Amino acid sequence: MTRKPAAASFARQVMGEAGIGIALIALFVVFAVSAPKFATSANLTNIATEITLNTMLAVGMTFVILVGGIDLSVGAVMALSAVVSGEILTAKGLPPIAAIALAVLAAAGVGMLCGLVNGYVSERWRVPSFIITLGMLNVARGAALQYTDAKTLYDFPPAFTRFGTSTVLGIPSLFWIALLMVAVGHLVLTRTVFGRLVFAIGGNEEAVRLSGHRTSAVKVAVFVIAGLAVGIAAITYMARLSIASPIIGGGYELSAIAAVVIGGASLSGGKGSMVGTLLGACLLGVLTNGLLLMGVSDFQRQIITGGVIMVAVVVDYYRDKLASRLTPLG
């Protein structure tokens, strides 16, 4: 009686996180053979650095997608968070430690506030989240440009920029923060009542509502969490590149969505994991880096990356069909 459910669970795992892991390893081997500089320690450090931002944004995006939502504003909100905190970092008269602490709080606060507006408006007036967040994309981008008069901020405290380029055990410090975010997100989704509600709402929101839970509060909360992740990503960007520009983040929302989808999440909600999201972000980072080292042009890289996303969606479709066939009817 338990063979078919066990087989269904095994199929989901093999074609899900395990499948992505196998694909990532295979891709790594291909590039290691094809591009001699790919497997060097310096390039591996570059890959870790490059996927840090996308991993952070994808962590927040995972929560949103799990409830069946989407957030198209993360790139613009990241720019707004960066310029607000950048003003604090460049303010005269503030001790460096105080300026850094206030800047981190400001970036997180701006991101969470934008997330709150996204979630509240979407739920209060029952408007699809992609429409609301598309509006927020323009609001946040315009606000960032207006706030700085379209100028780039720089000259941050040395301690701040040193941290952005530091390493721990040979791995960029910023990547460790991204891994910590993945770990915390994983624990929230798998070990808390809130996490179970996130999955349940994505699977059947009406059933959760009829059971007495406030689904709107949970859905607003996931957008706030996504905003917090954006704020952390903004600080990370600034620490790494030592600038805060109102035009950063263009297209970042698409990369974050791609990482979540490649990681096995369903855009209709109710299915996905933080481990899968991390693997999806790693796969995209390895793919981009490897193609670059092989001399593939920007246009061709976009085509290949888009094709990978399309394949991931198709694989997701067949994974569900296979799992449903292995699940007993009665």
- The tokens for 90 are 């460049």
What is the value of pTM for the model shown? 0.93
- The tokens for 31 are 């590039």
pLDDT band at 330 (very low <50, low <70, confident <90, very high): very low
**Rounded CA gap, 118 and 220, in Å?**
8
Helices H, strands E: what count in the chain?
A: 13, 2
pLDDT band at 1 (very low <50, low <70, confident <90, very high): very low
The burial class, CB within 10 Å (0-12 / 13-18 / 19+), for 281 is buried
- The tokens for 170 are 């040979």
- 10-40 pLDDT, tens digit each: 555 555 677 888 889 999 999 999 998 999 9
Average pLDDT over all residues of the chain: 92
Mean pLDDT of 223-229: 98
- List Cα–Cα distances, 46 to 21, 172, 241, 290, in angstroms: 20, 9, 13, 11
**Rounded CA gap, 41 and 48, in Å?**
11
Residue 321 pLDDT exceeds 90 = no
- 240-283 pLDDT, tens digit each: 999 999 999 999 999 999 999 999 898 889 999 999 999 999 99
- The tokens for 285 are 């980072």
What is the per-residue pLDDT for 76? 98
**Rounded CA gap, 146 and 167, in Å?**
35
- The tokens for 106 are 């400001």
Start-end of H helices in 16-66: 17-34, 41-66
Strand ranges (DSSP E) for 34-185?
167-168, 171-172
- 98-154 pLDDT, tens digit each: 999 999 999 999 999 999 999 999 999 999 999 999 999 999 999 999 999 999 999
- List Cα–Cα distances, 66 to 97, 139, 257, 283, 287, in angstroms: 37, 25, 12, 20, 25
Mean pLDDT of 297-325: 80
Please name the amino acid found at residue 177: I
What is the per-residue pLDDT for 43? 96
At residue 244, the 3 state secondary structure works out as strand
- 71-107 pLDDT, tens digit each: 999 999 999 999 999 999 999 989 999 999 999 999 9
Mean pLDDT of 56-83: 98
pLDDT band at 167 (very low <50, low <70, confident <90, very high): very high
- The tokens for 234 are 């903004």
How far does Cα 108 stand from its chain's mean position?
A: 15
What is the per-residue pLDDT for 113? 98
What is the per-residue pLDDT for 305? 85
pLDDT band at 323 (very low <50, low <70, confident <90, very high): low
